[in-house]
Amino acid sequence: MQMFIAAWMTVSEESIRKALVAGVRRWHYFPNLAEFFEVVDEVEADPASHKKAYGALLKRYEQAYLAGTVRPTLKSVVTDAIGLPVEVPKLTSVDLKDASPQEKQLWSRKMAEKNGWL
């Protein structure tokens, strides 16, 4: 309990009350400090300041994009999937019945090269 009291000294009494009211609806057991402070952060959050900060971030991103300093995003797996063959070959026990691990790796590499994946 001393740990809770020491941690709560940095939080206003009003925030503690609001967090306890909000937390009672969420917690099934007595919360640990991390769970308690998650609710305190939610209670103390100011929607107006969040909106202002997000607007500033968005404006900064737009300026960087227009200046050409934004890095291009990674390719999507979905858009790359269009180039895949209709049927992807699967490893079968017939093909690799008695193959060594090195032979299996070589077979996989050949299949990948054949399909243009490498």
Say how far apart CA 102 and CA 72 lie, in whole Å: 37
- How do residues 34-67 score in pLDDT, each as one tens digit? 888 888 888 888 778 878 888 888 888 888 878 8
What was the pLDDT predicted at 82? Answer: 53
- Above 60 in pLDDT, residue 10? yes
Q: Domain ranges for the chain, please list them.
A: 1-72, 85-114
Q: Residue 40 contacts by C-beta under 8 Å, 6 or more apart in sequence? A: 11, 15, 16, 19
